[in-house]
Every structure is written in C-alpha cells, then in structure tokens.
C-alpha cells in the first residue's frame, strides 16, 4: 500500500526483508534497548519469528528497511510470561492479538512511519477477526504509544534499562490511522491534529508543561484576594531568584509593553543615552525610545555580530554626555547573545546606567541582572508559560510619576501598590507560577546548551549557513541565512506541512530570506526531522 517519500508499507515476504528485520531487531533490542545479549552477526531472530506477520515500511528499489512492526495472535503471548492473568486487566474482546517489535530506523524517526505501520497492521488484524491489540510499550516512548491510542494497564515489566508498560487498544479506535494510511498512498503530506506530533521550534507561542495548562484552565479568581496576593508575591520572588534582581514589576501585556515601561523610566532621567543596534530588536528599542521622546545616540553593528568592548568604549569617549545604555541581551532576530558582564563593566566605568531587553534570554540562559538598572522580560518565551505577562526588573526603589507617565507605564505606581495596581488575570499568574516552580534552572540551561551544540553541528554537516558564529551564539535561537536560490517562505511552508514549525513569517525574516529554529518551550524537541527536511530542500 501507500507511498511516503519513495517508501511503501507492506507485509514482509522477500528474503532481503527478513534479513533486514533481524538486523533492525538487533540494533533496537540489543544495542539501543539492552534486552538481549550481543552476537558477532549483529542479528536477532525473534523467538516467535515463525508465527509473526511483519508489517514493514521499505524502499523496494534500494532494498532499505525504514521501520517494522510484528503481529501475532497465538497464545501464550510474550506478555503472558511477564504478567500473570493479563485478561483480567483487559476489556471484553472476541480475539486478541499482540503487536511487538515496533522499531523505526534512527534516520526515519520523527516521521509518520509509526502511524503508517499500525494503520496497515490494523487492516491486517481486522481481516483476521481480531478486535483488541496488546503491546509492551518501552517506557522511552510512552507518549508515542498514547498518541497512537494505547492505554496502560498493570505494572511495569522487564528489567532495569529495558522496562516496558503493558498497554492495550481496541482495533476499532484506529479508523483515523486507516485514513492516514490512505493519504500516504496518495503521497499527500499532512499536519497532525495532535500537538504531540508537532515539532515546535517557534520563539512563541512555545510548548509548556501540563501543569501550566491545568492551572490556566482553572476558574479565575479575584486579584484582590489574600491567597492570590500571596501567590503573586511568590511569582515575583521566583523571578528575582532566577534573575538576581532585587525587585520586579509584572505587567499585563507583551514584552513590547515592558520595553515601553523601561523607556518611560528612562525618560524620568532627563539625560542622553546610547542605544545598541545589531538587529531587528535593537531597532525596536529605537522605536520605544522615540515614543518616549528620549534623547540618544545609536551604535549599530552588522547583523550576526556581537558588540565588542572597544566599539562601545569609543562611542562613550566620543559622547561623554551619555548617561544610560540600552540594548538587547539576546538579539533574537540574528541568534546573537551579547555579553552582560562586559556591558556592565563598560557602563560602570563610564558611570552609565545599563538597561537590557532580556525577553528571549530569560529562562534559556543564565542571566545576572544584579547590576542592571532596568531589564525587560516576558512569560511566553524562555520561561515556558503562556504569553500575556511581561516584567521589568530593577535594583532600586521607584517613585510614582503621575504627571509624566501614563498610568499603565508608571512602574513607581506598581511598586507603591505591592505590584498589583490594576486588574491582573489570575490564570496567567498561576500559569507563570507553575512554570517557574517546575524547572530546575541549571538543568534547563544545560539542556538548552546541549540542544544548541547538537543542532548547530547537524546544520553544519548539511552546509546550512548559520548566521551567528559559535563565539557569540545564543543557545536557544539558530538563524539560518538562506542563499538567494532558496525561498525562506517556501521552505517554511514545506516544513510546516510536515509538522515542523519554524519562524519565517516575520517581516524582517522574509526581507532577509532567513529562517529560525528556537528552543524556548518546556520540552526538548528533537531536531532530526527538521534537519532532514531542510537538507532535502537545500539540495534542490
């Protein structure tokens, strides 16, 4: 049956297919999951091989096996030897079959091959009169099995390093997968309806944990209630603990609102400043500053570069009237991370107040704001919560300025009212609290660094032109400057059709023919599928 990128789903029948089955069986259940002992032949013949029917995804021309699954309906099942009286756990069924050995070659993981295998297996099992599947699902892929419709039953079985969860699924629950298998036969790419099959590499909206969604869906409560006020202060403390700042004000709105509030505070200084520009978000700070009628000079460097100490020091020497500096910690448009410590040292040496946009860096890399005058952040990026809250960090007391600032931008007024001068949506606050409490930040930062090293290495292997060099790369953002022969819009659309969501539709990305992959959310999304699809498009 159906074709998928030159592969066909079918029942195994040829000699080379069975040889490939034994080799993949060994690779998966000896080398990857240590369930069986090693051998020199590097082949593993299943103990029920003669009774198995194998469903395969193969490229017949190249004699290449991409994935497999085995069907067997003779008792005792392999699960019978691992768990007593399994029928007591199961719903009534006319005929049960056990499906085993689900395995996909590493190069083809994170595709829809698993669904295609089970879709064809469903048709085969239905023809044999079976109406219930059972399976021992490796604990490493529980999310996948649940997505495929399986429900866990009984305790874990197996041994340490090779643990399995017994699971079952009625065959009549697979009509959707049968429809998918038919779409494979027409060669039609599709976008999964379930978010577990999407690969979200967007800077926002980001993926967030179940606990975040659960509290967001709770009934709202009054922002004046004692319990809420106490929990709101917990949020502020956790934000300060994370950033090293002494205080933070939380606003209802996007990160741009926080930057407008920063601009409002700077306007009270009545002095001249310097705005650092190395990309789109540096230019946006200029717009924030113009809106607040600030007086300032600019220092602009080529996109894809980080600011150097000597460049800033020269500008400050040329303009001794500068009393504040404002720039981006992470220039999200280019994937460049600027050096906070250097910026702070230069500012201190000149006696200038340092202000930073930390909207994309907060929660993805360590951020020390202990010496920063003002810094902005948001809930919907690296903090892995729901967009809608923004924040301004500071290390000094703020005074209200009702004659000089709009109420919503008057951070002194926020401080006077313990951070809650106006209505704030309780669900957003509790979602942020859940996100902040769910992370071990050291582990989080290490995970982001690991993701960055991995994706940058893989992109280098396919000669994808990464904009930011390793020396100043922002770990959570990779910007790819495509050659003119390729269209960022077309490639972005193609990846989206395959369930890989990247950033490419912002006007500044379209103008420059750039695409971006980000790791901002709570889950570490594997990059293999993204790189494989991009490699295919770059070869065209």
| pLDDT, tens digit (0-9, with 9 covering 90-100), for 33-55 | 888 889 999 999 999 999 999 99
Do 100 and 75 have their domain in common?
yes
What percent of the chain is modeled with pLDDT above 70?
Answer: 94
Do 48 and 126 have their domain in common?
yes
Which residue matches tokens 């919560």? 385
Give the pLDDT band (50/70/90) at residue 2: very low
Closest of 438, 433, 434, 387 to residue 232, by C-alpha:
433
Other CB atoms within a 10 A radius of the CB of residue 32 amount to 14
pLDDT greater than 60 at residue 185:
no
**Residue 24: predicted pLDDT:** 95
Do 93 and 119 have their domain in common?
yes
**Residue 173: predicted pLDDT:** 62
Do 421 and 448 have their domain in common?
no
**Structural tokens at position 401:** 């300025």
**Residue 528: predicted pLDDT:** 82
Residue 345 CA, distance from chain mean position: 33
Do 225 and 341 have their domain in common?
yes
**Structural tokens at position 474:** 């922002």
pLDDT per position as a tens digit, 472-509: 999 999 999 999 999 999 999 999 888 889 999 999 99
Domain boundary among 381, 406, 438: 438
Do 260 and 219 have their domain in common?
yes
**Residue 5: predicted pLDDT:** 59
| Domain harbouring 298, CATH code | 3.40.640.10
Other CB atoms within a 10 A radius of the CB of residue 293 amount to 8
pLDDT per position as a tens digit, 92-141: 888 999 999 989 988 777 677 887 888 888 888 888 889 899 998 878 77
3-state secondary structure of 315: helix
- Strands 157-159 and 322-328 come out as unpaired
Domain boundary among 438, 453, 468: 438
| DSSP letter (8 states) at residue 32 | I
The average pLDDT across 24-30 equals 92
Do 27 and 158 have their domain in common?
yes
* Helix (DSSP H) and strand (DSSP E) numbers for the chain: 16, 22
Give the pLDDT band (50/70/90) at residue 260: very high
pLDDT greater than 90 at residue 190:
no
User: 272 lies in a domain?
Assistant: yes
Do 240 and 378 have their domain in common?
yes
φ/ψ (deg, to 5) at 380: -95, 15
φ/ψ (deg, to 5) at 325: -130, 135
Looking at the structure of the chain, the number of domains it has is: 3
The DSSP bridge partners found for residue 430 are none
Domain carrying residue 297: 210-438
C-alpha distances (whole Å) from 123 to each of 130, 236, 274, 284, 403 are 10, 55, 67, 56, 73
CB-based contacts of 67: which residues, under 8 Å, 6+ apart?
56, 57, 102, 103, 104, 105, 108, 113, 114, 117
| Domain harbouring 464, CATH code | 3.90.1150.10
φ/ψ (deg, to 5) at 438: -85, -10
Which stretch of DSSP H or E encloses residue 226?
helix 226-243
Closest of 507, 538, 508, 492 to residue 303, by C-alpha:
508
Do 184 and 295 have their domain in common?
no
Asked, as a colleague might, if the bond just before 76 is cis with ω within 30 of 0, I would say yes
**Residue 1: predicted pLDDT:** 38
The average pLDDT across 262-282 equals 98
Closest of 200, 192, 225, 242 to residue 365, by C-alpha:
242
The DSSP bridge partners found for residue 164 are 138, 157
**Residue 220: predicted pLDDT:** 92
**Residue 234: predicted pLDDT:** 97
Cα angle for residues 241, 371, 422 (degrees, 5° grid)? 60
Do 385 and 462 have their domain in common?
no
**Residue 172: predicted pLDDT:** 72
Q: Rounded to the nearest 10 degrees, how much is the dihedral formed by the CA atoms of 179, 115, 137, 105?
A: 160
The average pLDDT across 344-357 equals 97
| Domain harbouring 56, CATH code | 3.40.630.30
Q: Which residue has the higher pLDDT, 108 or 230?
A: 230
Domain boundary among 387, 414, 438: 438
User: 199 lies in a domain?
Assistant: no
User: 494 lies in a domain?
Assistant: yes
**Residue 501: predicted pLDDT:** 92
3-state secondary structure of 154: coil
Q: Which residue has the higher pLDDT, 211 or 452?
A: 452
CB-based contacts of 352: which residues, under 8 Å, 6+ apart?
273, 274, 316, 322, 323, 324, 325
**Residue 174: predicted pLDDT:** 57
User: 507 lies in a domain?
Assistant: yes
pLDDT per position as a tens digit, 515-531: 999 999 887 777 888 99
Query: Rounded CA gap, 441 and 453, in Å?
Result: 18
User: 135 lies in a domain?
Assistant: yes
Query: Rounded CA gap, 434 and 444, in Å?
Result: 15
Query: Rounded CA gap, 384 and 400, in Å?
Result: 31
User: 204 lies in a domain?
Assistant: no
Closest of 499, 498, 491, 504 to residue 539, by C-alpha:
491
User: 226 lies in a domain?
Assistant: yes
Give the pLDDT band (50/70/90) at residue 255: very high
The average pLDDT across 363-381 equals 96
Do 77 and 43 have their domain in common?
yes
Query: Rounded CA gap, 159 and 161, in Å?
Result: 6
DSSP codes of every residue in 478-530: EEEE--TTS-HHHHHHHHHHTTEE-B--SHHHHHHTEEEEE--SSS----HHH
3-state secondary structure of 533: helix
Relative orientation angle of helices 255-267 and 280-291, to the nearest 10 degrees: 50
User: 196 lies in a domain?
Assistant: no
Query: Rounded CA gap, 467 and 452, in Å?
Result: 14
**Structural tokens at position 147:** 């997505």
Do 433 and 448 have their domain in common?
no
Query: Rounded CA gap, 18 and 20, in Å?
Result: 5
C-alpha distances (whole Å) from 489 to each of 374, 492, 505, 510, 518 are 36, 5, 7, 7, 17
Per mean pLDDT, which range of 41-45, 60-64, 259-263, 455-459 is the poorest?
60-64
Size of the chain, expressed as the number of residues it contains = 540
Predicted TM-score of the model (pTM): 0.70
């Amino acid at each position: 049956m159906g074709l998928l990128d030159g592969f066909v789903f079918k029942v195994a029948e040829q000699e080379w297919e069975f040889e490939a089955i034994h080799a993949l069986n060994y690779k998966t259940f000896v080398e990857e999951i240590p369930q069986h002992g090693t051998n020199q032949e590097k082949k593993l013949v299943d103990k029920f091989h003669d009774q198995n029917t194998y469903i395969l995804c193969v490229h017949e021309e190249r004699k290449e096996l991409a994935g497999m699954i085995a069907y067997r309906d003779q008792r005792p099942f392999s699960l019978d030897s691992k768990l007593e009286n399994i029928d007591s756990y199961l719903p009534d069924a006319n005929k049960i079959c056990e499906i085993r050995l689900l395995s996909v070659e590493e190069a083809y993981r994170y595709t829809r091959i698993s669904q295609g295998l089970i879709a064809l297996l469903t048709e085969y099992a239905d023809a044999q009169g079976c109406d219930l599947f059972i399976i021992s699902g490796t604990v490493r892929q529980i999310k996948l099995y649940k997505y495929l419709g399986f429900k866990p039953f009984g305790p874990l079985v197996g041994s340490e390093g090779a643990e399995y969860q017994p699971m079952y699924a009625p065959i009549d629950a697979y009509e959707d997968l049968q429809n998918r298998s038919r779409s494979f036969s027409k060669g039609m790419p599709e976008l999964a309806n379930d978010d577990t099959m999407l690969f979200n590499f967007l800077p926002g909206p980001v993926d967030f944990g179940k606990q975040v969604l659960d509290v967001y869906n709770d009934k709202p409560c009054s922002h004046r209630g004692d319990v809420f006020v106490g929990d709101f202060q917990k949020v502020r403390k956790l934000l300060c603990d994370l950033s090293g700042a002494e205080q933070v004000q939380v606003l209802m709105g996007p990160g741009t609102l926080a930057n407008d509030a920063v601009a409002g505070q700077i306007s009270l200084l009545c002095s001249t400043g310097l705005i650092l520009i190395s990309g789109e978000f540096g230019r946006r700070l200029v717009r924030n500053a113009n809106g607040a009628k600030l007086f300032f000079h600019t220092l602009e460097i080529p996109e894809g570069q980080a600011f150097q100490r000597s460049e800033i020091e020269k500008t400050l020497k040329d303009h001794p009237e500068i009393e504040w500096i404002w720039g981006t910690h992470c220039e999200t448009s280019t994937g460049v991370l600027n050096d906070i410590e250097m910026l702070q040292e230069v500012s201190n040496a000149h006696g200038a107040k340092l202000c930073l946009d930390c909207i994309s860096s907060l929660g993805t890399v360590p951020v020390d704001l202990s010496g920063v005058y003002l810094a902005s952040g948001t809930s919907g990026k690296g903090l892995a919560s729901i967009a809608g809250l923004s924040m301004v960090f500071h290390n000094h007391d703020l005074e209200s300025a009702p004659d000089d600032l709009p109420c919503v931008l008057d951070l002194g007024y926020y401080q006077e009212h313990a951070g809650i001068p106006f209505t704030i949506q309780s669900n957003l606050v509790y979602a942020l609290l859940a996100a902040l409490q769910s992370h071990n930040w050291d582990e989080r930062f290490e995970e982001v660094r690991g993701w960055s090293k991995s994706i940058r290495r893989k992109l280098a292997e396919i000669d994808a032109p990464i904009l930011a060099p390793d020396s100043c790369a922002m770990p959570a953002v990779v910007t790819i400057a495509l050659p003119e022969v390729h269209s960022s819009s077309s490639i972005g659309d193609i990846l989206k059709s395959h369930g890989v969501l990247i950033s490419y539709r912002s006007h500044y990305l379209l103008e420059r023919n750039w695409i971006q992959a980000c790791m901002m959310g709570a889950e570490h999304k594997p990059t293999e599928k993204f790189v494989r699809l991009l490699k295919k498009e770059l070869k065209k």
